[in-house]
Amino acid sequence: MTFEMTQAAEPDRPPKIIIVDDSLTNLKFVKTAMSPIAEVYAVTSAKKMFDLMEKVKPTLILLDITMPEINGLDAIKILKSSPFYSDIPVIFLTSVNSKGAELEGLCLGAVDYITKPFEPLLLLKRVETHLTLQAQKRAMERQSLELQNFNVNLVKMVAEEAEKVSKMQFSVLETVVDLVESRDDITGGHISRTMKWLGFLLDGLEESGIYAELTRDWNKKMILHSSRLHDVGKISISDAILKKPSKLTGEEFEDMKRHTTIGASIIDRIRDTLPSDNHEFMNQARILAVTHHEKWDGSGYPHGLVGSNIPLQGRVMAIADVYDALISKRPYKNPLPHEMAESIIIEGAGSHFDPYIVEVFKLVSWKFAQNRAC
């Protein structure tokens, strides 16, 4: 390694070397030896070195050990404990010629230990080597910093892209939801209202601690938004059934039941077009679509699941969905007041509904009453 390489690493900044020695003769001798390769500062004590370092940050320090006031070993302890100076390489240049002192000096953080008298050319070469190493270290630190900045920018770009995708998904979702609502204008507003009822129930679940184990990892906001697709399968149900102004016949009702499984396959198809990190939203939507008409006693549809075999999301959604149907006007029925809807839900505990979720409903029922006109 040569000084040219050091200079290539730091082209505009010649290395600065501080020499600390209480002997003026030594100072002069070392300064002369170092002058060809660096801007050299010579001081006669460690205190003067610290004073100087308030103005000049050296690339390397050549430090004597035996000095009055602060000796070289104490000086290096101060340097290595400072966040500003700890990275400056220190070479001991001393007449203390003992293996113990050398080991102590290196243990305290010195990069080299050279004893006097020394051969000037040898000293020069050893200093050059440490300057080169220091320049390479600096270059690596700069590269690492650049890499970190690059990573930060990359993460930002990925986040921006993800947000774009998310916005696009949201607008697709809005369109699908609008389509469902427009197909089913008899129950207009059902999607947004059930989302609100579901929100009250999810809040109640969290506050009560009921099913805390199962809900600990839930993303409430994601479940709420995904609930807007719970009736998406109604897109495929005929107008004659969907908009029938009277109660459905048995056959028609069987057809209507298909909106759950059709909804699941529509969601599957949408999910397959999305990047895998967006699947969780659609997974939640699928669970709600296919299970919101299941009943606790197994008499629901499409699969007749019983009790806790019904995913918890579906058990919660069932109450939100039925409550909304009860308080809404249909061509064949008037809307029920909140109190009656509340009684019907409570009576359904253990048959239609999960009794524990009904307990949650009772806790937050006042919110339903307050918001039903909204």
Write out the residues near Fe ion by the rule CB under 5 A. Answer: 231, 321
Q: How far apart are CA 22 and CA 41, in angstroms?
A: 14
Rounded to a whole number of angstroms, the minimum distance from the CB of residue 190 to Fe ion is 6
Q: How far apart are CA 259 and CA 234, in angstroms?
A: 5
Looking at the Cβ atoms of 321 and 354, the one nearer to Fe ion is: 321
C-alpha dist (Å) from residue 111 to 28, 88, 191, 259, 297: 23, 10, 71, 76, 78
Give the count of beta carbons closer than 10 Å to the beta carbon of residue 65: 22
Residue among 9 and 325 whose Cβ is closer to Fe ion = 325
- Residue 231 or 294: the one with the smaller Cβ distance to Fe ion is 231
> In whole angstroms, how close is the CB of 151 to Fe ion at the nearest point?
45
The CB-of-259 to Fe ion minimum distance in angstroms stands at 6
Q: Which is nearer to Fe ion, 112 or 231 (CB)?
A: 231
Q: What is the Cα–Cα distance from 259 to 304, expressed in whole angstroms?
A: 15
CA gap 37, 9 in Å, rounded: 14
Closest listed residue to residue 194, CA positions, set 354, 282, 355, 313: 313
Active site residues: 234
CA angle in degrees (0–180, nearest 5) for 244-245-249: 55
Dist. CA 24–CA 26, nearest whole Å? 5
Rounded CA separation 117/369 (Å): 95
Helices (H) and strands (E) in the chain, counts: 16, 5
> Considering beta carbons, is residue 130 or 293 the nearer one to Fe ion?
293
Copy the structure tokens of residue 269: 């198809």
Is 69 exposed, middle or buried, given 0-12, 13-18 or 19+ CB atoms closer than 10 A?
Answer: exposed
Please, which residue, 134 or 260, has the CB nearer to Fe ion? 260
Residue 229's contacts (CB-CB under 8 Å, 6 or more residues apart) are 173, 176, 177, 180, 263, 267, 285, 288, 289
**Residue 63: strand, helix, or coil:** strand
Task: Supply the DSSP symbol for 128.
Answer: H
We find the least distance from the C-beta atom of residue 322 to Fe ion, in angstroms, to be: 9
Helix axes 120-183, 190-208, angle to 10 degrees: 130
- Would you say 296 and 354 are in contact if contact means Cβ atoms under 8 Å apart? yes
Q: How far is the CB of 320 from Fe ion (least distance, A)?
A: 8
User: Between residues 128 and 184, which has the closer beta carbon with respect to Fe ion?
Assistant: 184
Least Å from the CB of residue 262 to Fe ion:
11
Please state the closest distance from residue 291 (CB atom) to Fe ion, in A.
10
